[in-house]
Every structure is written in C-alpha cells, then in structure tokens.
Amino acid sequence: MNIDYSICNAITQAANGIDDSLIIYDVRCQWNLHFTECVEDCPGLALSDNTCIVTAVGKFHLSAHKLPCFARYSLNFILGAGQVDGEILETLWAPFNKISPTAQSLNASKVKAWEEDEEKAMKDRGEYLDIYQLNIDKAPIMAEIRLKLTESEYVNTGKLGSVSWLVNGIHLEDSQYIMKQF
C-alpha cells in the first residue's frame, strides 16, 4: 500500500501535465499485478484518466528474476527508456567473434514479420514481449562435463591427468559428505 500511495502522489503532484510515466521498481512483476485494482478500491489513491504507466525492473535486479521477466520488464525493450552505453560493444568483439556463426541473415519477409511482431510487443506489451525471451539450453550435468574434460585431456596428452585427479577428489569429498550424514 505504501508504494501505491507513493506512486500515485508522485504521478499526480509532480507530473505537471505529463501523462506518461516510467516506473522502475525491483519487484515490478509482483507489485504491478493488482496496482490498478488497489487504486480503484482505495479512496486515498487516485490517478488521472490520462495517465499511462509503463513499468520495468532495473537491470541490476532483473538478473535475479525468473527468466520470463527479462523480455517483459527489461528497460532494453521500452521505447524512450534509453540504452546501455554503446562503448561496451568495442570491448566485446573477441567474444562476439566466437558466437558469430550462430547469427543468421534474414530475408525481407522474415524482417517484415519480425518488425510486425516487435511493433505489437511495444504496443500491447504483456505476453507479446515474449518474442524477446531468451532461449537457453539446459546446462550439462556434472557427469557430462567430467567426461568431456577427461576425454579432452586424454586426447591431448595420451594419459589421464589433473582432470581425472580433480574428479576423483570431488568424488572422494562427496563420499565423505555422505558418510558424515550417518
């Protein structure tokens, strides 16, 4: 309730005829769910009929949210919100070169379809912002990582070495932990 009161007062008293507001709040994905109903139900809260509120989660806090929050509440996808300093790109050329094979060219019809999807996402927001959703493959399990490292080590040297030693050490620690439980 305190945040609702603060937001309403900030918008109505400080707006001076500005109808659009960008609210950046670290728990936006939860707070904003019932904000409109709270304003309507509470006589002490009020907003102008012309008020348009766009909400986001700050970049620092967004990384701690669930994956769906990224596309829906990132400042990156809010027109007029500004962008991260463009100078950082120059420092990332080497990593970008490694992932460049994953990039594809799009023909004109695919570009047009993307632009239409993007326009709808910017206008209607909500689930339409899911077009920006990250596609993340499931991380490999420990056994897969161990196997890959061990195979790589054997191919390079012809014998087992530090990777096998570390894997055995981790296995030994796991066994000791289990024994302490009994």
In a domain, 170, yes or no: yes
In a domain, 55, yes or no: yes
- Give 160's pLDDT tier (boundaries 50, 70, 90): low
Looking at 81, 100, 124, the residue that finishes a domain is: 81
Q: What is the pLDDT of residue 117?
A: 93
> Are residue 150 and residue 77 in the same domain, yes or no?
no
Tokens 């530090």, residue located: 162
Q: Which residue has the higher pLDDT, 161 or 61?
A: 61
The percentage of residues in the chain with a pLDDT greater than 90, rounded to a whole number, is 7
DSSP 51: -
Looking at 64, 81, 98, the residue that finishes a domain is: 81
In a domain, 168, yes or no: yes
List the domain range (segments joined by +) for residue 152. Answer: 142-180
Give me 181's structure tokens. 């439980």
* pTM for this entry: 0.48
68 pLDDT more than 70 = yes
In a domain, 98, yes or no: no
Q: What is the pLDDT of residue 121?
A: 92
Looking at 33, 57, 81, the residue that finishes a domain is: 81
Give me 27's structure tokens. 């728990």
DSSP 3-state assignment of 74? coil
Over residues 51-58, the mean pLDDT reads 86
In a domain, 115, yes or no: no
State the total domains in the chain: 2
Q: How far apart are CA 92 and CA 2, in angstroms?
A: 42
In a domain, 68, yes or no: yes
What are 80-106's pLDDT values in tens digits?
776 643 345 556 777 777 777 776 677
Mean pLDDT of all residues belonging to the chain? 81
